[in-house]
Chain A
Amino acid sequence: MQNLSELMRRLIASQVDFVLVGGFAAASHGALLVTRDVAICCRFSEPNLMKIQQAFSGVNPVHRARPDLPLNLTPEECRSLKNLYLKTDLGVVDCLGEVLGVGDYDEVSQHAIELNLPVGRCQVLDLETLIKAKEAMGRDHDLVTVRHLREIENLRSKN
């Protein structure tokens, strides 16, 4: 059973420094496309990565490329990681050190809006920057998402 919202709740509850980006961010803005993963941009510091590990304890986090390898971060690993692609019992989480077309966590967080969700406050990449990031990715499904996001932009500007 996929439960991306619960993954979000866990990240918030563990006080991970992150900005929601990607398809789930697009969904939060109103895009109608269904996404299978939670993509976040986060600070790749040891304390923050340890919080991510703590957030997913109990839901069997493994490295997506090596599902036989449970998430068991060491300080050495934390220093060398640029991205972290995880699979959990609740769904897939992509932790990115930077977002194409935008930059690293510090840059991304400057383009974030804060959402007050029932499970806590969450930073989400703003609509304009998300469009920019999706255009930079340039895959077919990114460009379809861009069409949705541009229509949302149009509808919001009319209201």
Chain B
Amino acid sequence: MNPSPDFSSAHDCRVESAQPHEWHAGGVDISLLKESLAMSPWERMLANDDALNFADSLRAAMPRRNAKP
């Protein structure tokens, strides 16, 4: 019988990479909000464009993935 695989190192990795999150009761991620406020208004507008285009590219990719060959 093979020994069970040891996932302990992967688990440790996951724990180490977990960043502390500062959540508000309203569901707003305060740490992300602080990152946003550290940017200039123009940088925030460009970030909106980037996020929008990324979301659109994902949306466009989904029908291609689901298309029958």
Stretch from B2-10, B11-19, B35-43 at the A interface? B35-43
Q: B65 at interface (Cβ–Cβ under 8 A)?
A: no
Report Cα–Cα, A30/B38, bound state, in Å.
9
Residues on the B chain within 8 Å of A152, using CB: 33, 37
* Contact of A151 (CB < 8 Å), options: B26, B39, B51, B53: B26
Contact status B45-A27, CB under 8 Å? yes
Q: A35 contacts B42, CB within 8 Å?
A: no
- For the side of the interface on B, what is the size category? 20 to 34
Interface of B is mostly: helix
Does B53 lie within 8 Å of A2, measured CB to CB? yes
A117 touches B28 (CB 8 A): no
* B37 close to A2 (CB less than 8 A): no
Q: Which one of A3-11, A44-52, A74-82, A98-106 contacts B?
A: A3-11
